[in-house]
Amino acid sequence: MWLLVGLGNPGAEYRHHRHNIGFLALDRIGERHGFAGFRSSKFQAEVAEGSLGPDRVLALKPATYMNLSGTAVGAAMRFYKIPLERLVVVHDEVDLPGGRLRTKRGGGAGGHNGLRSIDQHCGVDYRRLRLGIGHPGDKDRMVGHVLGNFSGDDRAWLDPVLDAVAEYAPLLLAADEALFATRATARIKAALPPA
């Protein structure tokens, strides 16, 4: 079994925040691949089960708020005995422009409190899918940017990104997840209006 985690904050008031792109991506993956609907669990998270290709997957959205995401992730990993190399975390990334994505294995949290919490509870050598939300240009505006709703301009790239992530999600679990990034990026570019 794999554990596929989307990061965000629970509650309707946060649903369309840039910080919640991980939750939005998991919703789209679940819809496309026929996962059972998300339900509350004993892990302080909403979970849904399904398959990506031949692999059984538990999709998890922590209900602990971003800064405590590791509590839910760690509890699910221990219960299902999921090794760290079968953990994939989908999260927002301010150091990538909106409409861009990157895969990464291991590394630091880069100032992301959700990743920092997972690192503390689980370790650092897991796969990450970084979904760009852009930088506001001034670090003093960072909190308002991350905890703000997607803008009208963001909508041009948001659906293409979520659709590409959902379409190629089975490749996230492959031995070489770079193929996921290549195919998803090509699909996003094809769906975006000409610059």
- Active site (catalytic) residues: 19
E strand segments, 7-77: 39-40, 45-52, 55-62
Q: Are 87 and 78 in contact, with CB atoms under 8 Å apart?
A: no
Question: Length of the chain in residues, anyone?
Answer: 195
User: What span, in angstroms and rounded, lies between the C-alpha atoms of 177 and 150?
Assistant: 27
3-state secondary structure of 58: strand
User: What span, in angstroms and rounded, lies between the C-alpha atoms of 178 and 137?
Assistant: 29
Q: Are 60 and 75 in contact, with CB atoms under 8 Å apart?
A: no
Q: Are 151 and 16 in contact, with CB atoms under 8 Å apart?
A: no
Q: Are 87 and 127 in contact, with CB atoms under 8 Å apart?
A: yes
Q: Burial level of 179, CB count in 10 A (0-12/13-18/19+)?
A: middle
